[in-house]
Amino acid sequence: MNKLLKELQEAALQRETRRHFLHTCTTGLGAMALGSTLTSCGFFGKNDDKTALNNAPASPGEPMTPRPSQFSPKAKRVIYIHMAGSPSQLELFDYKPELVKYNGKDCPQELLEGKKFAFIRGVPKMLGPQGKFAQYGQSGAWLSDYLPHLQTVADEITFIKSMHTDQFNHAPAQLLMHTGAARLGRPSIGSWVTYGLGSENDNLPGFIVLASGGKQPDAGKSVWGSGFLPSVYQGVQCRTDGDPVLYVSNPQGMNRDIRKQTIDAINEVNQQQYDDVKDPEILTRISQYEMAFKMQMSVPDAMDIKSEPDYILNAYGVDPNVGSFARNCLLSRRLIERGVRFVQLFDWGWDTHGTSKDGSIETGLRDKCKQSDQAVTALLNDLKQRGLLDETLVVWGGEFGRTPMQENRDGQEMPFMGRDHHLDAFTVWMAGGGVKRGFSYGETDPIGYYAVKDKVHVHDLQATILHLLGFDHSKLTYQFQGRPFRLTDVAGKVIKPVLA
């Protein structure tokens, strides 16, 4: 009996949160403190931006209810393909014949003065492009022989060749690319999108993540986290081997009806607790229990590519029994067909420093392109044939670029050809969903060192993605710690010339 009483006391203390304590205070001071606490956490806080408030969830109990965007969107959903480690734009997209002349020569001192690099020390040698470039399609887009399949769909793509960023290390650069800040704690772009638009499928998460390459991104799962947004908006990672989601199958001895009764009982307790303390994470807990139950039926069906015809599997280059980047590309099409709002693909292994054969420009990068080129091209063709590309924005890129000089880690020449991290110039491309077809935007200097025309910052790319989904990036906000936050922080502008 004493043990039972002790457990009841502990349970009561756990429920006595700061909000609950202030709520039960009878003094005006307690009420004022409660209002301040709720405002800082995003509850019915004062916000002069009525547009932003109109895009908050319509009902606290239904956070994923579909909602209209602020204005008519060009895209309804996004497939974001991130090549973790960052592919070399100089081998793939940004043709620099002038760089060939400098191959093997000492890097000019003016390119080194005042610059910080991740690994380059002393005076490195310049490195000419290793790919054979030619122009493709009616647009005349420059592509190398590293990407023979993508060459065939060049007229579907907008290339942004003047990207630049603030970070030259992987983790902070990935965070900046996906959350708008180089530090932990901000919501990812997929979370912002599902917060603004909700989900079109009651049985699947609105934001799903698929990873390949054998490792997670350097920034970890924070690149698809919800930050200070309610955690219902965070990305749900699905596995490509075994059960798509851990514990999606019923435990031995428990059938679906018993599991439903269990969830109903748990959620009844959670609802009682929410009525007392009004903690938004309790609503997330209720929503996620319900979603987990629905996912038992919907996820296995969505992830079962064996039902796809052979010609589709062959087009993507997929072995249905093996997890791979190509399999994830096919899964992304299946998921957006079922109403998933934001699908994030991460593929690890694109960091080509030249320290090993697998991490080299001449071998490692070619191998990664062979693993991905056919599948990405098949995805674009597949979406187009199904009438999905016009309303699906596909984004492809890394977190930064690569240097036009060869890496000499700690002043020592590498055993293979490689390039160091570079923040002043790189390429990202987009297709479908309201962007121009067969278009190149921005330019770098003759050796690909600086973006010199129509420079595009990471925040500009984020603002453009949100614009295509029907949002003014400056007005999609969330009240936190006394002020409205947004994905693009206090910067960013829409890249209007790339809009169709």
Q: What is the DSSP letter of 232?
A: G
- As a whole number, mean pLDDT of residues 297-325 equals 89
Q: Is residue 30 one of the residues assigned to a domain?
A: no
- As a whole number, mean pLDDT of residues 298-312 equals 86
Token code pair at residue 264: 């109903």
- As a whole number, mean pLDDT of residues 335-353 equals 96
Instruction: Kindly report the CATH number assigned to the domain that includes residue 215.
Output: 3.40.720.10
pLDDT at 472: 98
Q: Is residue 61 one of the residues assigned to a domain?
A: no
Residue 283 has pLDDT above 70, yes or no: yes
Residue 374 has pLDDT above 70, yes or no: yes
- As a whole number, mean pLDDT of residues 262-269 equals 77
Q: Is residue 297 one of the residues assigned to a domain?
A: no
Q: Is residue 335 one of the residues assigned to a domain?
A: yes
Token code pair at residue 481: 């710690």
Q: pLDDT digit string (tens) for 10-62?
A: 666 665 555 555 555 544 444 444 444 444 444 333 334 444 444 454 455 57
**Contact between 109 and 122 (Cβ < 8 Å):** no
Q: Is residue 53 one of the residues assigned to a domain?
A: no
Dist. CA 215–CA 228, nearest whole Å: 26
| Mean pLDDT, all residues of the chain | 87
| Structural domain boundaries, residue 426 | 77-247+308-498
Q: pLDDT digit string (tens) for 144-158?
A: 999 999 999 999 999
Q: Is residue 255 one of the residues assigned to a domain?
A: no
Total count of domains within the chain: 1
Q: Is residue 148 one of the residues assigned to a domain?
A: yes
Burial of 337 (0-12, 13-18, 19+ CB in 10 A): middle
Going by C-alpha positions, the residue among 362, 377, 348, 317 that lies closest to residue 211 is 348
Q: Is residue 12 one of the residues assigned to a domain?
A: no
Q: How far is CA 446 from CA 95, 96, 141, in A?
A: 9, 6, 17
pTM of the model: 0.84
Question: Backbone phi, then psi, for 26, in 5-degree steps?
Answer: -100, -5
Q: How far is CA 19 from CA 38, 54, 279, 420, in A?
A: 8, 26, 8, 50
